[in-house]
Amino acid sequence: MSEPEARSPAPGSLALIQRFINSTELPDGIDELGSAPLAARWLRDAVGANLEVSNKDRTRLIATREALRDLLESHTGENVDPAVAVRLEKLLGSAPLRPVVSAQGATLAVNCGGVENFLGMISTALVEATLMGTWAHLKVCRSDTCRWAFYDHSKNGRSCWCSMRVCGSREKARTYRARQRATSAP
């Protein structure tokens, strides 16, 4: 799905995590992982691999996607239950990774097939983004009904809304109306 406005996507492999989270448009948009065949098609588009997806796999993909979304709330200053990270660790933990070593150093490669292959890519992308210092800039929109993942390219790194034009201004209008109501109340 496309970005709601001209925010450029997250750099490097972090863009895969962003795209994964945005495979559905909340609260009631299309879910690109809405069925096992749809999820298989999404994976083919996203990582170019033909991966078998069972209903159980799809459930795991969705649980992983939503755990990532929940975890990212911490990047806009929300308190996230530590159980979310534990849940994500468990979901990603089924994908074995192996080091690929050269004179230049090492990277991690996914050492399995199926949906685990994709989950392994998510793990490596997460580790890479942490080391590059980009992880903290991947955020989910603070609007409870939106929760779209965006990359905060701003200098001060304090964006909280996917788009100031849509969610930010909507939120401002809501605060304004609430304040109006409060001041006009008898």
Which residue is associated with the tokens 């201004």? 169
| Interface pattern 91-130 for Zn ion (x via CB under 5 A) | ----------------------------------------
| 3-class SS of residue 24 | strand
Of the residues 126, 141, 149, 160, which one makes contact with Zn ion according to CB under 5 A? 141
Among 143, 149, 152, 160, binds Zn ion (CB under 5 A): 143
In sequence order, the 6+-apart residues with CB closer than 8 A to the CB of 147 are 26, 69, 140, 141
Nearest alpha carbon to residue 139 among 20, 1, 12, 10: 10
Stretch binding Zn ion (CB under 5 A), from 18-26, 71-79, 126-134, 144-152: 144-152
Segment interacting with Zn ion (CB under 5 A) among 29-37, 92-100, 140-148, 171-179: 140-148
Neighbouring-strand partners of residue 98: 109
At residue 119, the 3 state secondary structure works out as helix
Sign of CA dihedral 33, 77, 146, 8: negative
Q: Contact between 162 and Zn ion (CB under 5 A)? A: yes
Among 146, 152, 159, 160, binds Zn ion (CB under 5 A): 146
Give, as one character, the DSSP assignment of residue 11.
S
Q: HSE, CB side, 13 Å, CA atoms: give it for residue 2.
A: 3
Nearer to Zn ion by Cβ, of 95 and 149: the residue is 149
For Zn ion, which is the closer residue by CB, 91 or 167? 167
User: Does residue 1 contact residue 22 with C-beta atoms inside 8 Å?
Assistant: yes
Q: Is 72 a binder of Zn ion (CB under 5 A)?
A: no
Stretch that binds Zn ion, among 14-22, 57-65, 81-89, 133-141 (CB under 5 A): 133-141
Where along the sequence are the contacts to Zn ion (CB under 5 A)? 141, 143, 146, 148, 162, 167
